[in-house]
Amino acid sequence: MPRIGNAVLVFDLVDRELREVPAELRIVNEAENNESSPETVFYIPAKTYPNGVMNSEVNIEKAGLYTAIVTFQDTNKSIRFPIRVGLWSRVLILSGVVVVMGVALGFLIFRRFQRR
């Protein structure tokens, strides 16, 4: 997520068996992660999703590293999804620099051919 605030998270339960198993969603702040009790910033109690789509609107108020944890109650298995909120990544910065340099180079080439 490029910035803090509201976001819609959607998880597709592709496997038909998973649609019948109650699943809960919890989002924890990894920066505040104590091994015994990480800070939970969002929670949806376990329920079934017959259409196979878990979706919810969340509001994350601080930039940082978070993890969305989907736990299937009957199996006690969980899936973890890392989420970066409001953090610039190296790839994004590098992409921006390449675009700016490409536009500048294109402008210089255009001006040079325009003078001829």
Tens of pLDDT along 48-97?
999 999 999 999 888 888 999 999 998 878 999 998 888 766 666 778 88
- Asked if pLDDT for residue 104 goes beyond 80, the answer is yes
User: What are the structural domain ranges in the chain?
Assistant: 5-85, 88-116
* 87/3 Cα distance (integer angstroms): 7
Spatial distance between the Cα atoms of 79 and 72, rounded to a whole number of angstroms: 9
Name the pTM for this structure.
0.70
Dihedral sign (CA 83, 10, 45, 59): positive
Rounded Cα–Cα distance for residues 5 and 11 (Å): 19
Q: Has residue 46 got a pLDDT over 90?
A: yes
Token representation of residue 6 = 């509201």
For residue 38, what is the DSSP state? P
3-class secondary-structure state, position 104 = helix
The CATH number corresponding to 5-85 among 3.40.50.1000, 2.60.40.10, 3.40.50.2300, 3.20.20.60 equals 2.60.40.10
Distance of alpha carbon 50 from alpha carbon 95, whole angstroms: 40
The predicted pLDDT at position 23 comes to 94
